Amino acid sequence: MVKDDDSFFREVNEELRSDQMRIVWKRFGRILIGVAVLIVVGTAGYRGYEYWDSHNASQSGDRFTAALQLASQNKPDESLAALSAIEKDGTGAYPVLAKLRAASVQADKGDTAAAVAALTEIGNDGKAPSAIRDLAKLRAAWLLIDTGTYEQVAAQAEGMVAQGQMLANSAREALGLAAYKAGNLPQAKQWFKQIADDGTAPRNVSNRAQIMLDNIAASGKAP
């Protein structure tokens, strides 16, 4: 039974890890891009400064796009080098966006520790837009499901679980899986039940929560 549970968890978690961030980007990507554009454009009052700022932002945007293309072409080292350069001398929101994307490249390379460290730094950066900070924390939480403890996942995700928060159910799902992996099925049940009972939860997230609740019920280990 333990082996079956471990196998089930791995299958579910592998599916969720690949699916979860796609959902987040699909739902909130425009918001993040909008935040970045507002920061890049700024509120400068002089036309000259606006031109200078816009010109530099455009250059940073082109460099950022090129770095993303390198990642999509399976050239992680070249992509990381390009993103690192943008972190150092990019303008507007592009340095933090570059750092966020670099963390994903590092995770894809298998360097989870470096990815989590970078994401944690973004999540604690008071100068970064709140939407990007929350996304970084959520991404770190999902990476830590496999490599960390429940407490480490909770340190990243628990601040986003309040009803009405944009990423509440994604954070609850991460916490539920972390508790399940740790063998604390009653705690996992609580998190998945919060998702199942939330009428605003996306259907696919709610369906996955129900699957986990059914699995927990079948185990007989949580009242």
- Please give the Cα distance from 176 to 199 (Å, whole number): 18
Burial 154-179 (b: 16+ CB within 10 A, else e): bbbbbebbeeeebbbbbbbbbbbbbb
Question: Which residues have CB under 8 Å from 108's CB, separation 6+?
Answer: 71, 76
- Please give the Cα distance from 154 to 141 (Å, whole number): 7
pLDDT in 10s for each residue of the chain, 223 residues: 434 444 444 544 554 555 554 554 455 455 454 545 444 445 444 344 344 344 455 677 888 888 889 988 999 999 999 999 999 988 878 888 899 999 999 999 999 999 999 999 999 998 888 888 999 999 999 999 999 999 999 999 999 999 889 899 999 999 999 999 999 999 999 999 999 999 999 999 999 999 999 999 998 888 8
The reported pLDDT for the residue numbered 26 is: 52
The reported pLDDT for the residue numbered 194 is: 97
The reported pLDDT for the residue numbered 48 is: 40
Q: Is the CA virtual torsion 25, 206, 106, 78 positive or negative?
A: negative
- Please give the Cα distance from 189 to 9 (Å, whole number): 14
- Angle of helix 168-181 relative to helix 2-41, nearest 10 degrees, comes to 150
Question: Which residues have CB under 8 Å from 22's CB, separation 6+?
Answer: none
